[in-house]
Amino acid sequence: MSTPTEEPAWKQRAVERSTQAAKRRAEQRVERFLDAAQAIMAEKGTTDFTVQEVVDRSKQSLRSFYQHFDGKHELLLALFEDAMSKSAEQLRVLATEQSDPLDRLRVVVQELFESSRPDPATQQQPLFTDFALRLLMSHPAEMRVANAPLLALFTQLIQDLEDANLLRPGFKAKRVAALTMQTVMFNAQSSGQDAAHPLTAEEIWDYCAHGITGND
Amino acid sequence: MSTPTEEPAWKQRAVERSTQAAKRRAEQRVERFLDAAQAIMAEKGTTDFTVQEVVDRSKQSLRSFYQHFDGKHELLLALFEDAMSKSAEQLRVLATEQSDPLDRLRVVVQELFESSRPDPATQQQPLFTDFALRLLMSHPAEMRVANAPLLALFTQLIQDLEDANLLRPGFKAKRVAALTMQTVMFNAQSSGQDAAHPLTAEEIWDYCAHGITGND
DNA sequence: CGAATCAGAGAATGACATTCTCACCAAGGA
DNA sequence: TCCTTGGTGAGAATGTCATTCTCTGATTCG
């Protein structure tokens, strides 16, 4: 049972070094798959690429792909988490430019709405839409993880509102945050698909902020 | 070019009769496919059945399936439209039981929320969730058609609100209707998937009715 | 009866994801 | 230097579906 406690330090370091080298190599390969996938999505505008396409594009092999990813799903998830996290970052920055707590939330809601609607201009939109919905149904837990950064931002912004006594009495910041985030993203999605009801960012903000009746 | 204008009436009737008979038969077959699919979904709780399963269950043939449906997609769509339409009916009935316009909307919102969340008890829930999202992405036009009955109900209810001066000034009933419907259904979906934030029907109603701030 | 249409059985096809086989090669240890 | 080993490339094999195709028997109608 007793493990050899006399592992020479140099050996440990050597193992460590080669382990780190291997890790670095692996990360590079993963990166190449990720980049290839992103490029393909940008070109085709959907998440409907084949694993083979990614493999070819990245000039690696199927063998290697499945060595690094559990499957196509993992690849999508990685890209999605990344995109969500980056998006949360951007929005957070945007928020800091506003001093009024209500304005902070407003700009974030409106910008999230704009960036969540399908737009042929920007690249990585499909992730925010196409894949997000599939993920919601198939892997809610992973969806929660991917949403976490954005949810944290919303929670904080609404907490600020609460501190400023601007949150409707009886509401819990965290729950309103989740509700608002989902509402904005989903409605951006479904309205964007539809040329007839192109909701505006202002409309959705008015709705979220004041509700249907606009009073108690 | 001149078609025989002297088609004997009896012949026309005969053709008509056989056409109608054929139509009746076709409808029966379609029904059997539909029923089989519904039964399978109820059993398995998802829309992830194979066409083969439906065919076997309905004791018909693949040949026949593709004769009557353009593909699996058409089958799903048929079931979805049907479910949405039935649901809109039920909700409409529920609404008539309330005399106050705001209560009418409230009960509809709350019931739609409850019936849209994934619940192992009732049968045809998966359609309201699983498939709806796929449809939204892949065939927005058909989605719009399927949503029409429910949207009409919401529009009417909110129009009533407007007439009673209970709609926030500046809001258009039709747009608020779409926004509210989607918000309720989507949030039911995403909250239901998540054991941690089980939103309540009351919460979502408060949110939709009064918004985040609850005032102007 | 004979031609046309319908429907069942199930094989064939085509797209994919995923797995498996084989051959190579580079780095580390003996 | 030789051997072992882990990671790779190439690409064939498998498995699951949807969708199409072929063959064949039945039903209908003149």
* Res A131: pLDDT: 83
Say if A2 falls within a structural domain: no
Owning domain of residue A86 = 72-216
Residue A199 sits in a domain whose CATH number is 1.10.357.10
Q: What percent of chain B has pLDDT over 90?
A: 63
Instruction: Report the domain count for chain B.
Output: 2
Q: Does residue A4 surpass a pLDDT of 60? A: no
| Chain B environment of A199 (Cβ under 8 Å) | 175, 178-179
Does A91 share its domain with A47? no
Say if B1 falls within a structural domain: no
Does B211 share its domain with B114? yes
Does B111 share its domain with B176? yes
Asked if the C-beta of B103 comes within 8 angstroms of chain A's C-beta atoms, the answer is no
Measuring CA to CA, how many Å separate B24 from each of B18, B36, B74? 10, 18, 19
| Rounded CA separation B13/A211 (Å) | 59
| A159-212: pLDDT as tens digits | 999 999 999 999 999 999 999 999 999 999 888 776 777 899 999 999 999 988
Averaged over B124-128, what is the pLDDT? 65
* Res B212: pLDDT: 84
Is B143 close to A178, i.e. CB distance below 8 A? no
Q: How confident is the model at residue B131 (pLDDT cuts 50, 70, 90)?
A: confident
Would you say the C-alpha torsion A94, A95, A97, A102 has a positive or negative sign? Answer: positive
Q: Which two tokens stand for residue A135?
A: 């993920």
Does A133 share its domain with A180? yes
Q: Does residue B114 surpass a pLDDT of 80? A: yes
Q: Does residue B70 surpass a pLDDT of 90? A: yes
Asked if the C-beta of A171 comes within 8 angstroms of chain B's C-beta atoms, the answer is yes
Does A35 share its domain with A132? no
> A211 versus A80: which is more confidently predicted?
A80
Instruction: Produce one character per residue of A23-33: b if its CB has 16 or more CB atoms within 10 Å, e if not.
Output: eeeeeebbebb
Averaged over A36-40, what is the pLDDT? 95
The whole-number Å distance from A61's CA to C23's C1' is 15
* Res B209: pLDDT: 95
Asked if the C-beta of A165 comes within 8 angstroms of chain B's C-beta atoms, the answer is no
* Res B24: pLDDT: 79
Does B81 share its domain with B64? no
Q: What is the mean pLDDT of chain B?
A: 87
Domain boundary among A50, A69, A88: A69
Nearest nt to B64, CA vs C1'?
Answer: C7
* Res A184: pLDDT: 96
Task: State whether the beta carbon of A21 lies below 7 angstroms from any atom of strand D.
Answer: no
Measuring CA to CA, how many Å separate B139 from each of A199, B37, B131, B148? 19, 21, 11, 14
Task: State whether the beta carbon of B73 lies below 7 angstroms from any atom of strand D.
Answer: yes
Long-range Cβ pairs for the range B166-171 (8 Å, 24+)? B166/A213, B166/B101, B166/B102, B167/A212, B167/A213, B168/A206, B168/A210, B168/A211, B168/A212, B168/A213, B168/A214, B168/A215, B169/A214, B170/A206, B171/A206, B171/A207, B171/A212, B171/A214
Range in A5-14, A23-32, A151-160, B136-145 the model is least confident about: A5-14
| A100-159: pLDDT as tens digits | 999 999 999 999 999 988 776 665 566 677 788 888 878 888 999 999 999 999 999 999
